[in-house]
Every structure is written in C-alpha cells, then in structure tokens.
Amino acid sequence: MKSNSNLYLYYGPMFSGKSKKLIEVYNSLKLQKIIFKPKIDTRSKNFVISREGGKIEAIPVDKIEEIYSYLENIDIRDIFFDEMFMLEGNLNAVIDDLLLKNYRVHIASLDKNYLGNEFIEIKKLIKKTPEFNRHKLFARCHICNMPSSWTVRLTDGYLDNDKSPEIIIDDDSRKVIYETRCDEHRFTEKILEHKEIYKDSEHIYK
C-alpha cells in the first residue's frame, strides 16, 4: 500500500483554528487545487471561513463519493476538506483511494462530538496520518480561558444530552450554542457572569 505521507490532518475542538490552518495551507500552494465542505454546514453558505477573516469558496457535497465528478478532466495535486466529520459516505475508503492516486489530501475536522465521543471515521484518519502531518489543535475554555479540548453544546442555556441529534446546525425551536471547555469545566452548566465570553459563541452559532 502506498505511504500516507501525502495525508495532512488538522483536528481538535471547535474554536481551535482548524479552518484557519486549512486556509493558510490552501493559500500558500501555487498549483491548482480544490476544496470541499459538507453541504449540511450552512453557516457560511459555500465558503470555508476562519474567525480571523480568511475565506475561500468551496464545493458543497453531501457524500464524499460525490467529489469524483469534480476531479474528472482537471490536473490537480491537492484536495482539501473542511469539517470532514459532517460528510456522509465511506470516508476512509475514499481517502485511501485518493492517496493511491498520488493526491495530497488536507483535512480539517472535529475529532469528538458534543458528548466527548470520538467520530469513528475521524479516529481512523488520525491513526493513519503520519505523526509529522498530524496536528492536534486546542482552543480556549469559554469559562476560564485555559486550553481546552472538549466541545460542548448548550440548548436553552443547559448542556445538551445524548437524546439530541449528533449534529445540529440550525434549530428554530431552541437556542443552540457550541462552546469549548477545559477538563475542569467540561460538565459545568452555563455561568451567567461570563456574558461576554458567551456573547462571542452566540454571535457565531445563534
């Protein structure tokens, strides 16, 4: 089997700068390239954006297998994926196939859901990505500002439970906020004194 040295992965919780890194690498490459994002992610329409202002137009797809139709009759070396955990289909089989065809594959993704459970397909990608191409990123806890590796979801001001869907983008029936938390505050309910910190996450994911 061909080496996975052409596989590059940026992973971690929300607010950790994964899309920023992806955009930086994308903009640094002079050769023709292509970038995909999940169609279900409607927060930024057909763009991959970072909170620092970076912005790239991307091709939205539902299933990863859809990308093949965009690769026909074009000469590219680099393929980028943002928010890969949201994509449907056989992620690892497609990535393996792209590597065998000598593409360079760049991926940004959450590694765990709002309950702290690993996304299985992303876990497999982490394991197969060479250590020198594997970048674990951290955010800042929305409560204490210490380094954080957990993503949590609050609905109507309280931590969500395992009865909810794994992925929620928009929900008109309730107020949904995503935050990152450190180990100490992972299970802490919303603290009203931290209005400015919460205001930031509400602005992006209201």
Asked if residues 114 and 163 have their Cβ atoms less than 8 Å apart, the reply is: no
- The closest alpha carbon to 151, from 123, 194, 119, belongs to 119
Question: What is the token pair recorded at 117?
Answer: 């459970």
DSSP 8-state class, residue 190: P
Q: 57: left (phi > 0), else alpha (psi -120 to 50), else beta?
A: beta
Is position 83 annotated as part of the catalytic site? Answer: yes
Q: List, in order, residues 6 or more apart from 98 with CB less than 8 Å away.
A: 79, 105
Q: Which residue of the set 65, 83, 118, 179 is catalytic?
A: 83
Radius of gyration of the chain (CA): 17
Q: List, in order, residues 6 or more apart from 39 with CB less than 8 Å away.
A: 60, 61, 62
**Helix (H) / strand (E) containing 70:** helix 68-71
Residues annotated catalytic, as ranges: 83
